[in-house]
Amino acid sequence: MRSGAMNRRITLQQRSTAQDAYGAQVDTWTTLGDLWASIEPLTGRELMAAQAVQSEVSHKITIRYQAQFANPQQVAAMRISYQGRMFNIHASMDIEEAHKIIEILATEGVNQG
């Protein structure tokens, strides 16, 4: 992939748990870093959940190789933020196992990670 195609600046975040003032555990998001990426919408559909319509859009996000995407357990606790939009990561693939390009399959809009 040409570097010019990766023209979107995304923020990679990881979920962690912390305790609030009452001792209850709450999810927090820690920024791991900003990356250049290509974001491509794949499909769109409407979901009915609890009598509320929520939209879900599937995206393919392409980035340069990052070693943390080799660990599926670590990927499951990550999300991507782009211009106020949140993308939940479902899978990441090292294209041709060449350690050059990672393709991420993500959904947007159903929840906040």
25-60 confidence digits (pLDDT tens) = 988 899 999 999 999 988 766 555 544 555 666 889
110 domain-assigned: no
- Residue at 108 is within a domain: no
Residue 56: CATH number of its domain: 2.40.10
Structure tokens that stand for 26 in this block: 């709450």
Residues paired with residue 46 on neighbouring β-strands, in sequence order: 55
The separation between CA 80 and the C-alpha centre of its own chain, rounded to angstroms, equals 3
- Mean pLDDT computed over 96-112: 82
Q: Report the SS3 class of residue 32.
A: strand
d(CA 105, CA 96): 16
**Which pTM value belongs to this model?**
0.79
Domain of 82? 3-16+25-102
DSSP 6: -
Q: Which of 13-17, 42-46, 109-113 has the lowest mean pLDDT?
A: 109-113
